[in-house]
Amino acid sequence: MLGSHEIRARYLNFFQKENHVIIPSSSLLPENDPTTLFTGSGMQPMVPYLLGESHSLGVRIVDSQKCFRSQDIEEVGDNRHTTFFEMLGNWSLGDYFKTEQISWMFEFLTNPEIGLGLDARRLYFTCFRGNQEIGIPQDTDSAELWQKLLQEKNIDAKIVDWSERDGMQAGRIFYYDEKKNWWSRAGIPGKMPVGEPGGPDTEMFWDFNPECGENHLDGATDIVKFGNVCHVNCDCGRFLEIGNNVFMQYHRTESGFELLPQTNVDFGGGLERLAAAVRNDADVFNIDLFDGMKAVLEQASGQRYADYVPEITKSFRVILDHLRAAAFLIADNAIPSNKDQGYFTRRLIRRSIRYAHMLGIQKNFCAAIAEETIKTYASAYPQLIEQKKLIISELEKEETKFKRTIEHGIKKFNEITKLMPANSAIPTEEIFDLYQSYGFSLEITQELATEKNLVVNETEFRTYLKQHQDQSRAGSEQKFKGGLADHSEMSVKYHTATHLLHAAVLKILGAHAVQKGSNITPERLRFDFAHGDKLTAEQIKAVEDLVNAAIARDYSVTFQIIPVAEAKAKKAIGLFAGKYEEMVKVYTVGDPEGLPDANSTAPTFSREFCGGPHVEHTGIIGHFKIVKEEAVSAGVRRIKAIVE
Ligand code: SER
């Protein structure tokens, strides 16, 4: 059977033979992209070239890109989610299009000599249904191309417009809407900021359980007859998406969608998922890349993964995924810390330690797992060997530090429970203290309680936790109330104008131009910011114009109360020195779901730590005018502005 390294190599070779240049994976930490913390897809580093910039290596590129999706941390535990994965990718930068891509993919998936040798009877495909409202037609080309290739193999390939009511209808190729068959970094067409590229896609699926026919799988083991409900995009686990061909040919404009100057192909397929399909085992954690790490974990815990005891399986998956990700992140210099990317490395390691605790692992184990990760990936990612010392020492350090906290917690637990008779309930406020001050998850406390025949009232704990969160929310509302001289209507307008101005100087002058001070009265705003030189007349005009454009766009102004870590991940600007768990208030001008970026016309214009209050819509602010620009001290400039 083909191993994962061989699958990667075959893929790269296959496309190299079709005149693609193999490029190495970019870092997990994007280099020139302030909009995101991590590289989460293969195409991310390719965006400039998809938009038309010329690539020095030509118009056909192929690679295997390391990816990390922090938003999936909590999802890990089922048979297919991982935070780290490798995405095999090939690109046509204005060169070939659908015909070549689809026939190459089919060949790669099914050819046993140079590809994966997958049984074509177990492959399914989806295409874009089209959307008249935005003027994008149905992708009949792709559907017919797949159909022809399947028919050449004597496979009945019915094309079906999928609907919940009618189900699969014995189809093989299905049309779905933009929620499933449209790809852009921002998601569906309606969410794309102006300038963002995207397009219809056609996805490929593997059927792990053809014996189900059109029935539905429950828990990937028992077949349940649910009539029409199961379909290729169902998440019961029967079908797995193994690759996505995006026909990146549009970009969003102010008024809708326009064709890009070139038609591109952006293919991405998860290596782990392709390997699972080749093994015909829906559990991605059974692929060979995890063998070494799994063996170490089995040894350390005395448990066998293959026994599939639910909580044990979940702990294994979390640890395997998280420590592999942590090793790769450290190799790319995301050192465990309390901020930015390092915060996620820390979170991954700490979660692994907690889950290891549940497996009964006492000794330090992170370094041993990392050794295996490095060994497994040494030839594909030699950088791991170069960074081995750093990876091992950072893991050791973090593990020792976090275990000390846990040990203190255990001591505390023993003190609390020393005199408690068997079967009594531990006071919820104590459980909460363990959670809050010692980093104990409820599971850890529960486990210690079980050992001592004590009871944990889970419902009460959750209620307590919620009350506490509500309180700290109210607390941060209070804490952030200040900041303005008064809350008159004019001051509130000036306050929002200050956020627009802050965002505007950052966009026009650069990321260094952060706020250094602010003072607002009902007559004017005063805003100090870091910048060395006097602003030119053009720069003043550009800043003014941008603020006025933001006013004219009548953005909504909304706030959220979220943990500091989340606010930072969402690119909130402004000083905030609190703990990462602390709840803070952030104000967003524009789309609260999007990320602000340097682009002047992004749907999310600004996001800032702030107590408020603000206007609800920027449109009511009036006309913004800079009346003075001067120096305050070395490297700090001051703007005074009014609205009329
Ligand atoms: N950009 C697409 C994805 O990430 C294909 O590479 O799925």
Q: What is the mean pLDDT of residues 287-306?
A: 97
What is the crossing angle of helices 366-377 and 291-301, to 10°? 160
- 483 and 455 Cβ atoms separated by less than 8 Å: no
Q: Quote the tokens at residue 480.
A: 């952030």
Tell me which residue has tokens 């300038």: 195
Residue given tokens 């992209």 in the structure block: 33
- Going by alpha carbons, the residue nearest to atom 3 of ligand 1 is 268
| Residue in 554, 555, 535, 553 with CA at minimum distance from that of residue 626 | 535
What atom of ligand 1 comes closest to residue 246's alpha carbon? 5
Q: Which residue has the tokens 């409900």?
A: 229
pLDDT > 50? residue 533: yes
Supply φ then ψ for residue 554, to 5 degrees: 50, 55
Give the nearest ligand 1 atom to 40 CA: 4
For 125, the 3-state DSSP assignment is strand
Q: How far apart are CA 315 and CA 153, in angstroms?
A: 43
Residue 187 backbone class (left: φ over 0; alpha: ψ -120 to 50; beta: rest) = left
Structure tokens at 627: 């009346």
Residues 6+ apart with CB under 8 A from 337: 343, 345, 346
Per-residue model confidence (pLDDT) at position 637: 94
Pocket test for ligand 1, best of 38, 43, 249 (most atoms within 8 A of CB): 43
pLDDT of residue 628: 95
Which whole-number Å values give the CA distances from 357 to 15, 332, 344, 440, 545, in the listed order?
A: 45, 28, 20, 11, 57
**Ligand 1 atom nearest to 185, measured from its CA:** 1
pLDDT value, residue 472: 55
Please report, to the nearest 10 degrees, the dihedral formed by the alpha carbons of residues 91, 96, 98, 100 taken in order: -100
Q: Name the residue of 41, 126, 128 whose CB sits within 8 Å of the most ligand 1 atoms, as the mutation to test its pocket.
A: 41
E strand or H helix at 548: helix 537-552
CB 39 within 8 A of CB 67: yes
Per-residue pLDDT at 36 exceeds 90: no
Task: Please give the average per-residue pLDDT across 314-332, as a whole number.
Answer: 97
Which residue's alpha carbon is nearest to atom 4 within ligand 1?
41
Residue 634's contacts (CB-CB under 8 Å, 6 or more residues apart) are none
Atom 5 in ligand 1: residue holding the nearest Cα: 268
180 secondary structure, DSSP code: H
Closest by CA position to 248, among listed 101, 88, 63, 50: 50
Q: Where in 168-255 does DSSP place strands (E)? A: 173-176, 182-184, 197-207, 216-218, 222-224, 239-252
Cis peptide before 613 (omega within 30 of 0): yes
**pLDDT over 60 at 304, yes or no:** yes
pLDDT at residue 477, as a whole number: 43
Q: Which atom of ligand 1 is nearest to the CA of 87?
A: 6
Query: Which residue is it, tokens 């010692």?
Result: 438
| pLDDT tens readout for residues 266-280 | 999 999 999 999 999
Write the Ramachandran bin of 443: left for phi over 0, alpha for psi from -120 to 50, otherwise beta: alpha
Q: Greater confidence, 59 or 478?
A: 59
CA distances 290 to 89, 295, 323, 376, 395, Å, are: 22, 9, 11, 8, 19
Q: What is the pLDDT of residue 160?
A: 96
Around ligand 1, the residues with Cβ closer than 6 Å are 41-43, 89, 183, 244, 246, 266-268
Class of the 484-643 domain? Answer: alpha beta
Centroid of ligand 1 to alpha carbon of 562 (angstroms): 29
Per-residue pLDDT at 226 exceeds 80: no
**Domain segments of the chain: what residues?**
4-284, 287-401, 419-477, 484-643
Q: Are 263 and 298 in contact (CB under 8 A)?
A: no
Helices (H), 332-456: 340-358, 366-377, 383-386, 388-417, 428-438, 442-451
Residue type (1 letter), 322: H
* The pLDDT of residue 215: 74
C-alpha of residue 315 to centroid of ligand 1, in Å: 29
Please, where are the H alpha helices in 189-309? 271-279, 291-301
CATH number of 4-284: 3.30.930.10
Segment among 360-369, 431-440, 495-504, 573-582 with least mean pLDDT: 573-582
Query: Are 95 and 355 within 8 A, CB to CB?
Result: no
Q: What pTM does this model have?
A: 0.71
The winner for highest mean pLDDT among 187-196, 352-361, 464-473, 621-630 is: 621-630
Question: Residue 60 forms beta bridges with which residues?
Answer: 92
Q: Shortest CA distance to 160 belongs to which of 182, 179, 138? A: 138
Mutate to test the pocket of ligand 1, among 183, 184, 273 (most ligand atoms within 8 A of CB): 183
Going by alpha carbons, the residue nearest to atom 6 of ligand 1 is 268
State yes or no: pLDDT of 220 exceeds 60. Answer: no
Ligand 1 center to 44 CA (angstroms)? 9
Atom of ligand 1 nearest to the CA of 248: 1
- C-alpha 496 chain-centroid distance: 30
Instruction: Identify the pLDDT of residue 319.
Output: 98
Q: The tokens 């690679």 sit on which residue?
A: 63
CA pair distance 194, 197, nearest whole angstrom: 9
Average pLDDT value over all residues in the chain: 90
Q: Which of 129, 289, 142, 141 is CA-nearest to residue 204?
A: 142
Distance CA(594)–CA(574), nearest Å, equals: 18
Closest ligand 1 atom to residue 245 Cα is 5
Give CA–CA dist 319/348, Å, rounded. Answer: 8
Q: Tell me, what's the pLDDT at 451? A: 85
In whole angstroms, what is the distance from residue 236 CA to residue 228 CA?
13
The per-residue pLDDT for 332 is 96
- pLDDT confidence of 228, banded at 50, 70, 90? low
CA of 201 to the centre of ligand 1 (A): 9
Q: What is the position in ligand 1's atom list of the atom closest to the CA of 41?
A: 4
Task: List the one residue out of 496, 528, 501 whose CA is nearest residue 515.
Answer: 528
pLDDT digits (tens, 9 = 90+) for 377-433: 999 999 999 999 999 999 999 999 888 888 888 899 999 999 999 999 999 999 998
21 alpha-carbon distance from chain centroid: 28
What is the pLDDT at residue 464? 86
The string of pLDDT tens digits covering residues 110-169 is: 999 999 999 999 999 999 999 999 999 999 999 999 999 999 999 999 999 999 888 899
The model's pLDDT over 328-365, given as tens digits with 9 standing for 90+, comes to 999 999 999 877 789 889 989 998 998 998 899 989 99
- What are the E-state strand segments in 505-635? 515-520, 525-530, 557-563, 583-590, 604-609, 624-633
Chain position carrying tokens 């979940």: 314
CA distance 142 to 150: 12
